[in-house]
Each structure stands twice: as C-alpha cells, then as structure tokens.
Amino acid sequence: MFQEAGYEIGKVSGMALANCEMPGGLAEALQGFGLNTETLAQESQVYQFLLVASPVHQSSRSPLTELPAIPRQRHHKPVASLVMLTCNQLEFTKQCVESLFEHTATPFELIVVDNGSTDGTLEYLGDLVRSRSDITLIANPVNLGYAAGNNQGIAVAEGEFIGILNNDLILTDGWLERLIEQAQGHASVGVVGPRSNVVSGPQELADLNYGDVTQMHVEANKLATAQAGRGFSHPRVVGFCMLIKRAVIDAIGGFDERFGRANFEDDDFFWRVNIAGFQCRLADDVFVHHHGSRTFVGEQIDYKACMQYAWEWFVKKWSLDPELPVGSNYPITQRQFQSGIHVSALPEAASLPVRGWVERMPTAAETADRYSAFGERLYERGESEQALRFFDTALSWDDGCVEALNNLGVIAFHEDRHAEAIGTLRHAVQRDPANKNSIWNLVSIYLQCDMKDQARALLSDFVRLDENNVEAAELLKSL
C-alpha cells in the first residue's frame, strides 16, 4: 500500500503492551480457520506500530490516470462533501442553498447533481459555480433517480465526511458541526442523521412548534443547547439528510441503483452499513426543517408505483417472503459480509458529465451520448427494457448517435432479429466509418449469418484502422 502511494518504509518499531497474556485457546481456534499462528504470541504484545516512510523518487512511481478538470480551484481539502440532488423545484433549491451557506461554518464542498431540470435550476446552479470555488455541478439530461444521482456526487467527493441532502431542506446553525461531533465521538458509528419535522420513524420531532422560518431557527437553537451531544442508536437514518464517514463508503460503496427512481435504496444501504460493522446514530441536538417529497409532487411521479417497483427488488435481493406487503417489517438473514451482495460500486469519476456543462447547455449530440451511456449501465445490470428506452431517447436527440445504434444492433442480434441488427449496425458504420466497435460487431454478425463476402470487405477496413490487431489480421487471412 505504501509503495503504491509512492512511499518507501525505512523503519518499523512496535509499541509493546504491559503484562498482556494471549487468551488460552485463541491460537488453536484461529488455526481452525486455516491461519498461521506461529508468531501470534509475539505479535499479541504489540498494540501499535510506528512506521517511518519517505517518498520514492517520482520517476519510480506509476503514472496516475488523469481525471477531467472540474470547474473549481480549492486551496484546502474540505472536511465534508455535501451532495445535493435537484430536479426542478428552483425556489426550494435556492432556499436550501442559502440556508446551507448561512448556517455552516465547517469547510465543505457542495456537489449538486441536477437530474434534468428545465425550470431555470441549471442556469441558477451555473451562476453559483461561476461565482464560487466550492461548488461542483454534475448535470444529467434526465432524472436518473435518487441512488444513481447521489452515487455520481459521492464518486467525485473529496471530504472526510459525505453528506446527503435533499434540496427541500432549511438547515440550521451548527447542523454540520454537531453531526460531525457525534460521528467523531463514537468510533463504531458510520452514519449520523438529524431530527426533523417531516420524516418517518423516531427521527420525527413533532413537538417542536414553530409558525415560520424565523421561529424555527429559534427553536432549533434552543434544542441544540438543551440536547447538546445527546443522541441514540437506530438501525437506519432516513435518506433526506445524513452524514456518512468516508470509511463506510470505502467499505460498501454507494446506493444500489437497481431500486429505480426512489424508495428502499436507503433501507438497503443501512442494512449493508450494519452488516459491514458500522452503527447508525440519530442526533438529538440537530434539527433541520424538511418540506418533504417536493420532487415527487412537482414532477407528478407515481409514488405508489415507484414504491412497489423498489419493494419488489428489495424483497428479491434480501431473499424475503415475496408475499410480504409493501413496507412491512422484515428480517434480514444475510449477516455475513459478501462483497457481491453488500457492495454497490460507484461510477467512474471520469465518466460523469461535469466538464462543459457549466458554461453552456449541452448539444443534442452530447445529450444523446449521455442517454446512451446510462442505457449501457442499465443493460449491464440486466434492466434491458429500461435500457432500450434510453437508447431510443438518445436517437430522438441525435438519430446518428453511434453508440446507441451499436447497442441496439447488438441487442437485436441477441434476440435473433438478425436483419434488424445488420441494418442498425450498417447505419452506425455509415455515420462513423472509423468506429471500430461498430465495425467489429457487424463483422461478427456477418460471419454468424454466413455472409463471408460482406465480412471480408468490412474486415479489411477494420485492419486498416487497427493495424496492430493480430486477431483481426488472422481472421482476415483465414477469410
């Protein structure tokens, strides 16, 4: 690990424990798991190692992959990275952003992920990015939903803590500072959430009475003083506002994007948090105002249908009784941590639509590329029906989107629609004669359809484009 980071260890020493005996039977028990315990007695006397390391000369380090430039210049690394999703609802977003900058003293970066706003939100956010160095904007051409949008923000976050914020909040004095204090004060805690007026379960604080925003701040300050440092453990934190330690993200990744637009991805996230060995905590000394469900209302999203779709995946993923009613209490039996089940990978930061979306609106071709790219992610996850809709939408923006044509052609072939597959891929090759991916796919289909003359002619073009491709050269020679 040190070598990969560019350092060489020069000295190692151990800090010994006083009068410490290894528990009887421990070595034998560990041997039962196949572990080598020959040096265990010696190692058990050390509780901390001191390592002295120095940088290796730059030329001996492996080159790092360069990420795209993000429109910001920051002098200090933020303590917290706050990820906020937006999808229209401009006035609520303005109110939330204003309260954030007014009531937060801890150094932070704000990462706004816009999910296809059309009401002026994108222009407002662009102005913010140009005027401040601590805001990053990720602009999606379509609403990717809660899980996928937050994962994009988390993927570019730099802070020690990751905050997830709805855009319909009003934040209060010291909210972030006190959440961080509660997280740092409990080593086993991985996620902390506040109390609020509109939230399910024990996070709701219904007896905090106020009639307007000014009175709300007064009551929140009283609560912060009266309940300073207090809180309690709870298996989950509702996803409208929460603070996550970086170690949690390192262990389990982000949200599972297979839950669709919204619902139960936070339940799933917190079961994975618990199984990975972290606890959750609700802070009694933090109150934030939550308007509640503004995106669902504003976008006229069928909340019931979204919940049903997400519940069906939740039941399937966690092997629950398929007859369980939506949202009912459920037992989770998969307690042993398994990376294939309990880790949800984040998207590659280099693939996100950060650069070029701030100074101008995207072109039709750029928008089509974004639809096609997300369609590929859906198809890789087995959601072929939704993926097809994204590919079709990409072509509605740009009928010559080569990646969308290529994907549709391959899908058609896998579904035994060979003539359609050939026609679609021919269109892709015509639009971009240098696209090796489309050419190779069309060659493969020609060969499987016993169209060797067409394959040979097209393969000659491929070999001219990729002279070092041994497989292609050998295939052409055999034809």
Is residue 86 within a helix (H) or strand (E), and if so which, with residue range? strand 80-86
Summarised one tens digit per residue, pLDDT across range 180-217 is 999 999 999 999 999 999 898 899 988 888 989 999 99
pTM of the model: 0.64
| Whole-number pLDDT of residue 334 | 64
Angle between helix 452-465 and helix 470-478 axes, rounded to 10 deg: 150
pLDDT for 351-379, tens place per residue?
A: 676 644 444 556 778 778 877 877 887 77
> Which has the closest alpha carbon to 391: 412, 413, 369, 364?
369
CATH class of 363-478: mainly alpha
pLDDT of residue 60: 31
Kind and range of the H or E element at 115?
strand 108-115
DSSP bridge pairs for 53: 9
Of all residues in the chain, what percent carry a pLDDT higher than 90?
Answer: 35
Quote the CA–CA distance of 85 and 93 in Å, as a whole number: 9
Average pLDDT score, the chain: 83
pLDDT tens-place string over residues 216-264:
999 999 999 999 999 999 988 998 999 999 999 999 999 988 776 667 8
**Quick one: which H or E segment has residue 16?**
strand 7-16
More confidently predicted of 301 and 289: 289
Query: Over the stretch 146-165, which tens digit does the pLDDT of each residue have?
Result: 888 999 999 999 999 999 99
pLDDT of res. 71:
38
Confidence at residue 349, expressed as pLDDT on a 0 to 100 scale = 77
Q: What pLDDT, in 10s, does the model give residues 28-83? A: 888 887 788 887 877 777 777 788 887 764 433 222 222 232 333 444 578 999 99
Asked whether 285 and 185 are in contact (CB, 8 A), the reply is: no
Question: Which conformational region is residue 34 in: left (phi greater than 0), alpha (psi within -120 to 50 degrees), or beta?
Answer: left
The DSSP code for 347 is P
What is the mean pLDDT of the segment spanning 417-438?
90
The structure tokens listed for 199 are 């939230």
- Domain residue extents for the chain: 7-60, 80-317, 363-478
Which one of 3.90.550.10, 3.40.228.10, 1.10.1040.10, 3.40.50.10310 gives the CATH number of domain 80-317? 3.90.550.10
